[in-house]
Amino acid sequence: MLDIYTLGEEVLRENAGKVTVFDNALAILVDAMFDTMAEADGIGLAAPQVGVSKRLFVVDTRRPGEKMAFINPEIIETSQEVCSREEGCLSIPGMYYDIVRPSEITVQAQDLNGKAFITRASGMLARVIQHENDHLNGVLFIDRMEEESRAKLVAAYQRRNKRKKT
Ligand code: NI
């Protein structure tokens, strides 16, 4: 299992670099990310969350055909229609908030062999892809909250962590 980095760690705020080498080490990293995500009961995990500042993430919504790795992803189209849904993040464990995002997206990415593919997504999959893609740009879901709500959530998160430590 890989360590999951949490709020406050610098790597979560970096703009991740492109993946340029599609080798066995990459396949091993992706495998370990799938395992780590499953162990943590998550539905998405981006490389910066395991301390690797590279443009890739894995998702598994637990629906057929929705377990995938996205390498060097780019969201090339978003719907005008938006929807609000509760989000959480393995890097801010235990905190959840309703976030507004486009309902449908088209994403272009590469697979483990470097082969390009395009996927259209809606529903939960579209939500997870956008959340994970944000991680590659150093953006967390709390950055998409209004300032006051974000301050409250972060304060609650920090209070909880303090209690845990003592
Ligand atoms: Ni996250």
Distance 84 CA to ligand 1 centre (A): 16
Judge whether 132 counts as a catalytic residue: yes
Look up the CATH superfamily of 10-165: Peptide deformylase (3.90.45.10)
Query: Residue 73 class from Cβ within 10 Å (0-12 exposed, 13-18 middle, 19+ buried)?
Result: buried
Whether the CB-CB separation of 80 and 34 falls below 8 Å is answered with no
pLDDT string in tens for the chain (166-residue length): 899 999 999 999 999 999 999 999 999 999 999 999 999 999 999 999 999 999 999 999 999 999 999 999 999 999 999 999 999 999 999 999 999 999 999 999 999 999 999 999 999 999 999 999 999 999 999 999 999 999 999 999 999 988 776 5
Single pTM value for the model? 0.96
Distance 144 CA to ligand 1 centre (A): 12
Distance 42 CA to ligand 1 centre (A): 9
Q: What is the dihedral of CA 53, 68, 21, 55, to 10 degrees?
A: -30
Domain spans in the chain, listed from the N-terminal domain onward: 10-165
Catalytic residue among 132, 146, 147, 148: 132
Distance 141 CA to ligand 1 centre (A): 7
Ligand 1 ion local residues (Cβ < 5 A): 89
